[in-house]
Structure 1
Amino acid sequence: MSQVLDTPPPTQAPADDDLAALAARHGLTVSGARPTLREYVRQLWARRHFITAFATAKLTAQYSQAKLGQVWQVMNPLLNAAVYYFIFGVLLGTSHGVPDYIPFLVTGVFVWTFTQSSIMAGTRAISGNLGLVRALHFPRASLPISFCLQQLQQLLFSMTALVVIILSFGLPVTPRWLLAIPALILQSLFNAGVSMIMARWGAKTPDIAQLMPFVLRTWMYVSGVMWSISKLTKKDHLPHIVTVLLETNPAAVYIDLMRYALINSFHGKQLPPHVWAAATGWALVAGIGGFIYFWKAEETYGRG
């Protein structure tokens, strides 16, 4: 007589829905999940002291190995301005017909450097700090924002040299100087937004950091850093679309606003039409759009 052995039925693994319900009942959440936009903003605000401290530490350490130290924060843009003055002002003659060309040029170089450095730093914000991203939990937007804040601090430090140059050319201090404050705020919002866009692209494709210097150099040449856009657009040979693109170029808009604020010989007629509306529009579109675009990929940074 054969004996039938009863074997226990195989246990069935709980379904995914059951596991999700169990986790929710005990307050468990997905590791690294993207928070809501409102919660993300709250987390960023809670870490505002970390963002400012990180930016200041990066700025202090930038030239810590150089003998001249923080003096290079002013020397670098001044040397760039000197090179551009020799090439464009002396050799190519773009200074002709531009009053106070040296303050005009130095202002353009300083303001452009702020945008250029913010975007380059943002491109490497995630890919260049993977150790920090993978080791600690914090809103990743803290990195591109802190790098943009670092460049703003450097610009403010360099503005002391710009003020000395402006005053040495006999240009007076006028109430228009106060317009530099809203212009810098709008430019900072624009730079931060573009930096966050580039940070997301750079996190996925680090090779973009190698391409950006060529893109930024081309952008600089069409932004009126070394020459007057208003002087060029008065000529009839330019197609209307080219004139519109030159005048609404965001980098050129912020450069012109800063020149109008600080240089008495730079008149309002040299500003493109609706310049403050354009500056505000670029700041809102890039700032808000770049922030949301970066937030949507929050859970992917530092993985893979």
Structure 2
Amino acid sequence: MDPVERLYLDALLEAAEPSPSTDAALASDATLASGAHPPLPGGVLAGGALPGGHSLRLQLLAGARARRRPAERTASWAEPYAGRVAAMDALLGAAVDDDWNRVIVEGWTLQELVAHLAAKDGLLAASVGAPVLGPPLAAVDALGRTADVQAYERSRSPEQTRRDWRAQADALCRHLSTLPRDTPATVDGLDAPVGDHVLARMLETWVHTDDAARVATLRLPRPIGPHIHPAADLCARLLPWTMLMSGIDGSGRILGLHLTGDGGGDWTMPLGIADPAATRPPDAHITADVVDFCFLLGRPGELDRFSAELEGDLDLAREVIRTAPALSGP
């Protein structure tokens, strides 16, 4: 392994010193692709090569110097979110000045993307009585709050924005440790148990960490299976809603969903939002990779890249896939 590449990977290891609540997750994120350890899925760096682009050596050296706190202690059901916060923080620790000005998604720079994550974490915090950091809470919709936090953070340094986002995430995690998973919460007009809102925050943080890594031409390891599975379960339960939002009522139809890979599983999903549990075989079957499925629902633009095996009512299966991204967005 090239010494500079090894330096970068060592930085990720050292930045991911685990806390008792997230040992397994951070161990997965930090495993080195070397003879002494199991290889990461697909390698840490795309194609097993160093990322290209400007400031490469500065990025790697900055990553070696960067140290981020371990994931905040929280409720066991919120650990998937805490793990993705820790992983994003590790990635941000390797960013240099040029990186913060790169456009990542939605026309947002990396600094604006981090402010967006802080804004949405703050909306969930407000709903459950956790501290809300940053500017005073005026707008309570996602886009409005994002605009307010981004405007506030533009007058601050990228490192201050990173600290503000992490402080908001940590405050939320600490508060969640005192709450039952089924505590009601309302975010952006959506009523759901706080556990589901936290899984939505996990999915968005995971997706945007991957967005930032792609721009840097880095390929990061997947979360551990026990953290992926609840996110996949949320995505599966959202399918009746994504269909309905797209103008298709799936009432009376049943889908068999088989997701492969660590964290996958099998779901038999009634496709009407008021349908009872399924008592007969599915009308259609979809088999896909579990991470691809989560990203299909979690990130716009994944539809053209999504690959699946379909059986049974192929038109129904295609409609489920076509409508799955209906809730994805900024």
* TM-score exceeds 0.5: no
Which structure has the highest helix share of the two?
Answer: 1
**What TM-score does the superposition give when structure 1 sets the normalisation length?**
0.30
Larger RCO, structures 1/2 (Cα 8 Å, 6+ apart):
1
Larger Rg: 1
